[in-house]
Chains A and B, each alone.
Chain A
């Protein structure tokens, strides 16, 4: 009895691997070891099938057509909205806006809420571990408005210094925009606390969920964040689809993002009446096929269970951390107590690019460089790291392959 109970709690990684056709391919005569999941995840057959099915069976433009295909496509597209709403536990479908991805979601907030609300002398707070996508839009806005960008510092382990954050907060703070889980370090930030503290001073909070949404349970109502953004392609779904969540009252009061079809109710040359939420923010024909297949990806994750996935990924992270720390000259960058399955490291006297090339030569895909987080690299006084990031389909044996690859590379490069 016990045994069955334990088994059902653990993830059958080999059964899962069979659902990802790309994992069968060889790279330079080696079995592919894909450890670049924080950049993008691979897609299960079901997602690929959903795309093919849409284009082979009911491809049509949505929302306005009265023919059968348009109705079917519209229904499937709107089911994706419901799936996304449930995935982050938003209170209403109207709060779910489809974008091209996380980056567009942040830019949307900067261009609409930001333009409307940020004035000269106002302050926007980000953290030292942000992706460039959560820095540059605010820099541009600050430049335009004469506002000030403030940065929450981090400690040696790669954790936010919350005392410093509290000191940065003031009545001048209009927005706090922080990453939920760092793409370069894996650190999971205490976003609930960050949000509560910001709200106490009257600031609005955006959470960048690009990395967290695939690993952690997301509940935007419990978090009480004002905006939450994430991408489909990091959750086993297609590229080119993102979700922008905004609280309804904010979405209602914000100006439109882009003008065009879909987002209007009535247009004449004197005045345009904008469409209801969420369509007000979705100008033009959206990425219909990919958005529909995104639901298949969310269902895929839901059916396996995030808790099971998280346990498996934690096991991989712990094992990799233990194995990598044994390698001579290797230093892990980012040792936060709370981490998602991302492990970033540097090796004495070895350039990450050299490592990346030699690992690729053995079929191992890792990411090297600054991970679009140059201010973070500057903080640690390094030009970049090598990063291995794990997904539900990765195995301990693959980590062993990485370790062998690293040993060999160190020997060649030393």
Chain B
């Protein structure tokens, strides 16, 4: 297994990939393609408690904690949102709670998705990031409590 890339390294990769696109249509084609390729979430996870609040579409997000790292899985009924989640998973999944909490996620703005999508609650990108960071915070606090006791 190759060495795990840092969050920043993956962010930089995504920014590089997006720099190749000339138009917004091309960017969206790519995001839609990512969305279509995101593996479906097992039906058992598609329940209310896994829903991300604040999205116009339905987004389910689950987190697994293994060997000090968080692994995310998610799905949405809207394909562009699915593409965006796919990128967030690529950047954040497989990292420690501390790394996830510290992630700046500047790539979202650099690829132009902030002005485009994230400002209103309809998009849900910010809600997804918040939810992922909440998971990280929860696991971090859990670890600290475990160490203390």
Contact = CB atoms under 8 A, between A and B. Distances in A.
Contacts of A361: 24-25, 28
A357 B80 contact: yes
Given A361-B25, A361-B28, A412-B28, A354 B56 contact: no
A369 interface: yes
Contact of B81 (A28, A353, A368, A369): A353
Nearest to A367: B122
Contacts of A191: none
Interface residues of B, number: 16
B101 interface: no
A353 B32 contact: no
Contact of A368 (B24, B56, B58, B77): B56
Contacts of B28: 357-358, 361, 412
B79 interface: yes
A295 to B, nearest CB: 32
B14 interface: no
A42 to B, nearest CB: 19
B98 interface: no
Contacts of B58: 383
Contacts of B16: none
Binding site of A, secondary structure by majority: helix, strand, loop or mixed?
helix
Contacts of B116: 357
A413 interface: yes
Interface in B74-112: 77-81
A352 B25 CA distance: 18
Contacts of B77: 351, 383
Contacts of B57: 351, 353, 383
Nearest to A408: B25
B117 interface: yes
Contacts of A383: 57-58, 77
A413 B24 contact: no
Interface string A16-50: 00000000000010000000000000000000000
Contacts of B24: 28, 361
Contacts of A357: 28, 80, 116-117
Contacts of A408: 25
B56 A384 contact: yes
Interface residues of A, number: 16
A356 interface: yes
Interface in A49-103: none
B122 A369 contact: yes
A351 B81 CA distance: 10
B56 A413 contact: no
Nearest to B57: A353
A373 to B, nearest CB: 14
A353 B78 contact: yes
Interface in A357-414: 357-358, 361, 368-369, 383-384, 408, 412-413
A356 B122 contact: yes
Which of A353, A356, A408, A413 has the most C-beta atoms of chain B within 10 angstroms of its own C-beta?
A: A353
Contacts of A353: 56-57, 78, 80-81, 122
B13 interface: no
A368 B56 CA distance: 8
B29 interface: yes
A357 B79 CA distance: 11
A408 B25 CA distance: 10
A412 B78 contact: no
Interface string B6-29: 000000000000000000110011
Which of A28, A351, A352 has the most C-beta atoms of chain B within 10 angstroms of its own C-beta?
A: A351
Contacts of A369: 56, 122
Contacts of B117: 357
Contacts of B122: 353, 356, 368-369
Interface string B44-86: 0000000000001110000000000000000001111100000
20 contacts: A351-B57, A351-B77, A353-B56, A353-B57, A353-B78, A353-B81, A354-B78, A354-B80, A357-B116, A358-B28, A361-B24, A361-B25, A369-B56, A383-B57, A384-B56, A412-B25, A412-B29, A412-B32, A413-B32, A413-B79
Given A357-B28, A412-B25, A413-B32, 4 more contacts: A354-B78, A354-B80, A369-B122, A412-B29
Top 7 nearest A-B pairs by Cβ distance?
A351-B78, A353-B78, A353-B56, A353-B57, A354-B80, A361-B24, A354-B78
